[in-house]
Copies of this chain bind each other. A is one copy, B any other.
Amino acid sequence: MVVNMKKLEIPDEIEKEMRKKGGWSSIKKNLPLKEIKEVEKVMKVLSYDTRLRIIYALSEQRMCVCMLMELTGCSYSKCSYHLSKLKEAGLIKATRKGNYLIYSLTPFGRSIVRHFRKYKPEVKNE
């Protein structure tokens, strides 16, 4: 087969910069693919408005689904869908209280929210 094999032409200037770092192959090898996969999973869940509202809200106060519905403006099933995503990711958990399911952050969720909220993008422009 061997189609598409045109090999990498790295510009000199960059080639040179990389030498100090062990060269291209070393840089390639050091990409933390596993960490990236993990980060991706959490980020995916946290990259949606409704779900962010939910965890921000839960970081203040545990709540039943009907409260989250009102807070997010979602229907039950929609809310439920997003809650399931957050739960899958280990960010929230539910406990039953009579007829209600009360959602709250897990310690993992709590640590993530704390971490992300701390971040303030002061440096936004160049």
Give A residues with C-beta under 8 Å from B: 8-11, 13-14, 17-18, 21, 24, 27-28, 30-33, 35-40, 42-44, 46-49, 52-53, 56-57, 60-64, 66-67, 70-71, 90, 93, 97-98, 100, 102, 106-108, 111-112, 115-117, 119, 121, 123-126
21 residue pairs bridging A and B, Cβ less than 8 Å apart:
A8-B66, A14-B64, A14-B67, A17-B61, A27-B61, A28-B70, A28-B71, A31-B53, A31-B56, A31-B71, A35-B117, A36-B52, A36-B53, A90-B124, A106-B123, A106-B126, A107-B123, A107-B126, A111-B121, A112-B121, A115-B119
Contact between chains at A27 and B116 (CB < 8 Å): no
